[in-house]
Amino acid sequence: MSQRDRQLLLAHLLGVKAPELYLKMEEEVPLQLLEEYEKSIKKLEEGYPLQYLIGEWDFYGRTFKVAEGVLIPRSETELLVEKTLELLDSRRDYTGLEIGVGSGCIAITLLLERERLFMYGTDINPKALELTRINAENYGVSQRLKLLQGKDFEPVKGLRFDFVVSNPPYIPEGLWETLPEGVKLEGKDALIGGKKGWEFYERFAQQVGDFLKENGFFVLEIGHDQGQIVQELLKDYSPKIFKDYSGQDRVVVGWKS
Q: Is 60 annotated as a binding residue?
A: no
Establish whether 120 is an annotated binding residue.
Answer: no
Distance of alpha carbon 99 from the chain centroid: 10
The whole-angstrom separation of Cα 20 and Cα 25 is: 10
Asked if residues 63 and 57 have their Cβ atoms less than 8 Å apart, the reply is yes
Binding residue per annotation — 104? yes
Is 239 among the annotated ligand-binding positions?
no
DSSP string covering 164-219, please?
A: EEE----EEGGGGGGS-HHHHTT-HHHHEEESSS-HHHHHHHHHGGGTEEEEEEEE
103 labeled part of a ligand binding site: yes
Is residue 16 annotated as involved in ligand binding?
Answer: no
Judge whether 52 is annotated as a binding position: no
Closest CA to 21 of 32, 31, 9, 30: 9
* Cβ-contact 190, 169 below 8 angstroms: yes
Q: Is 126 annotated as a binding residue?
A: no
On whether 237 is known to bind a ligand per the annotation, the reply is no
126 CB-near residues (< 8 Å, 6+ apart): 149
- Residue 135 annotated in ligand binding: no
Residue list, annotated binding site: 100-104, 123, 167-170
Residue list, annotated binding site for S-adenosyl-L-methionine: 100-104, 123, 167
Residue list, annotated binding site for substrate: 167-170
